[in-house]
């Protein structure tokens, strides 16, 4: 198989001889100059490259209509058919890297950039733009690519640097990983993070959490747990957000028991008993499996040193009362009392808000009486909740009575109190 090169107005074209059967012969007679190159002739191929490129650096670009690799400069063009199809669109370098015409004085040392560092011109391989550069030059290019948002090219550069045993700029690697995650390219982010870690870099907690979050959104929960394990080995300990993300991801996939076992295993491995994570877990169990199951898990994890507080119980009270499952709410409060805790103002206000919305006014009166008998009397928030529900239900007389009680109990009304009453009175036609 041979090639033919034709000079046309300072433009050279090289085509496979096997594909010239249907070509226009007119192209070969413009200047009457042609060269027949044997496929194995290195000497004439070098001559062709010298003529084609001249005193310019060329930029590789994939041309779909020709199905070949085209190198263009200001005056020269080469087309070589039957080249492996590679996506060269991502390798459109600007004039800072390649493709910039050299002045005559600059031809004395064409391998140096204006900064004096080596920037070799690309060969027919897309790696040619970077493969001959030293570590400092490639890192400078990497920072530039990341700042311009050219993620695909930057990732390829990191890969080349890894194979050349060059250490990439770690802050740029972190930005590259985060950029991939924001675009939903989780696999690319994981590959770049692996190369970064193998080069001695340690992603920060934000980067790790973004990767884990991306894996959970894609449903790759096993991979997310593997990344969590790698975090501890790399010296970047997981935090509350890390654990919460994985637990929420497991529940989103319906793996309720696996989520509970995951948290139990983490506690046994020495993970701090984060109360926020524990509360998130118990609330999710209650939402998907019911309050009874949530309380069982609560008691079980207490054996692992993870204990609930009033915030944990209030989250369960809020969830069950919003769902109208007051029997489960009572079960939660009984469990709260059995552990020697007492409901606080948030607990009572949550119950009053839910009961009043459903019209259970007798129960609301009972709760207000209990609050007055305990060390947790009604607060301005309590009265505002009551006034708002009464006005919405059209019980303006009761609302005014509660306002009077509020004043006599030395509980100062606030702007919300007056706005609620005025709104109710206006809607009632007063």
Residue with tokens 């989250």: 315
Tokens of 337: 């009392």
Give me the percent of the chain exceeding a pLDDT of 70. 70
Q: Across residues 207-228, what is the average pLDDT?
A: 94
How much is the pLDDT for 127? 56
Tokens of 83: 């080249």
8 Å CB contact between 89 and 153: no
Break the chain into its structural domains and give their ranges: 1-111, 358-430
8 Å CB contact between 318 and 328: no
Task: State how far the Cα of 348 lies from the Cα of 373, in Å rounded to an integer.
Answer: 13
Task: State how far the Cα of 326 lies from the Cα of 245, in Å rounded to an integer.
Answer: 30
Q: DSSP class of residue 84? A: P
Q: Above 90 in pLDDT, residue 275?
A: yes
8 Å CB contact between 321 and 354: yes
Q: How many residues does the chain have?
A: 430
Give me the percent of the chain exceeding a pLDDT of 90. 48
How much is the pLDDT for 424? 85
Task: State how far the Cα of 387 lies from the Cα of 389, in Å rounded to an integer.
Answer: 6
How much is the pLDDT for 352? 95
- Most confident of the following: 95-109, 122-136, 397-411: 397-411
Question: Which range (3-17, 60-74, 261-275, 311-325) has the least confidence?
Answer: 60-74
pLDDT in tens, 29-67: 333 333 333 444 443 334 333 333 333 333 333 333 333
Q: Across residues 184-195, what is the average pLDDT?
A: 93
Question: Which range (14-18, 100-104, 203-207) has the least confidence?
Answer: 100-104
Question: Which range (1-15, 29-43, 236-250) has the least confidence?
Answer: 29-43
Helix (H, G, I), strand (E, B) or coil at 72: strand
Tokens of 427: 């809607």
8 Å CB contact between 331 and 313: no
Q: Across residues 393-413, what is the average pLDDT?
A: 88
pTM of the model: 0.66
Phi, psi of 68, rounded to the nearest 5 degrees: -145, -175
Is pLDDT larger for residue 20 or for residue 142?
142
pLDDT in tens, 348-361: 999 999 999 888 99
How much is the pLDDT for 169? 92
Under the banding of pLDDT at 50, 70 and 90, the label for residue 188 is very high
Task: State how far the Cα of 125 lies from the Cα of 86, in Å rounded to an integer.
Answer: 10
Is pLDDT larger for residue 140 or for residue 66?
140
8 Å CB contact between 147 and 139: no
Under the banding of pLDDT at 50, 70 and 90, the label for residue 128 is low
pLDDT in tens, 158-183: 999 988 888 999 999 999 999 999 99
């Amino acid at each position: 198989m041979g090639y033919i090169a034709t000079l046309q107005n300072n433009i050279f074209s090289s085509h496979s001889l096997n594909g010239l059967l249907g070509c226009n012969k007119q192209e070969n007679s413009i200047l009457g100059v042609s060269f027949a190159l044997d496929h194995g002739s290195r000497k004439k191929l070098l001559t062709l490259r010298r003529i084609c490129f001249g005193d310019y650096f060329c930029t590789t670009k994939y041309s779909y209509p020709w199905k070949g690799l085209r190198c263009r400069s200001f005056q020269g063009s080469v087309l070589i058919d039957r080249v492996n199809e590679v996506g060269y669109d991502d390798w459109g370098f600007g004039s800072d890297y390649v493709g910039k015409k050299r002045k005559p004085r600059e031809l004395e040392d064409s391998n140096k950039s204006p900064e004096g560092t080596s920037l070799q011109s690309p060969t027919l391989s897309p790696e040619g733009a970077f493969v001959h550069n030293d570590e400092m030059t490639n890192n400078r290019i990497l920072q530039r690519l990341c700042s311009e948002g050219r993620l695909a090219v930057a990732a390829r550069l990191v890969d080349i640097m890894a194979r050349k045993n060059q250490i990439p700029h770690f802050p740029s690697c972190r930005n590259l990983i985060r950029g991939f995650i924001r675009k939903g390219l989780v696999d690319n982010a994981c590959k770049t993070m692996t190369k970064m870690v193998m080069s001695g870099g340690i992603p920060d907690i934000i980067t790790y959490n973004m990767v884990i979050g991306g894996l959970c959104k894609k449903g790759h929960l096993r991979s997310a747990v593997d990344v969590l394990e790698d975090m501890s080995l790399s010296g970047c300990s997981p935090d509350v957000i890390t654990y919460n993300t994985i637990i929420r991801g497991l529940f989103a996939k319906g793996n309720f028991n696996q989520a509970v076992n995951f948290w139990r295993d983490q506690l046994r491995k020495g993970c701090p008993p984060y109360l926020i994570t524990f509360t998130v877990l118990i609330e999710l169990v209650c939402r998907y499996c019911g309050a009874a199951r949530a309380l069982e898990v609560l008691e079980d994890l207490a054996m692992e040193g993870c204990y609930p507080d009033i915030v944990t119980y209030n989250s369960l009270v809020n969830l069950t009362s919003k769902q109208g499952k007051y029997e489960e709410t009572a079960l939660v409060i009984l469990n709260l009392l059995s552990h020697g805790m007492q409901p606080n103002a948030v607990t009572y206000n949550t119950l009053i808000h839910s009961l009043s919305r459903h019209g259970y006014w007798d129960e609301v009166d009972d709760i207000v009486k209990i609050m007055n008998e305990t060390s947790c009397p009604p607060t301005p928030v309590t009265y505002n909740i009551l006034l708002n529900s009464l006005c919405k239900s059209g019980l303006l007389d009761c609302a005014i009575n509660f306002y009077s009680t509020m004043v006599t109990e030395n509980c100062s009304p606030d702007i919300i109190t007056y706005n609620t009453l005025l709104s109710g009175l206006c809607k009632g036609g007063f």
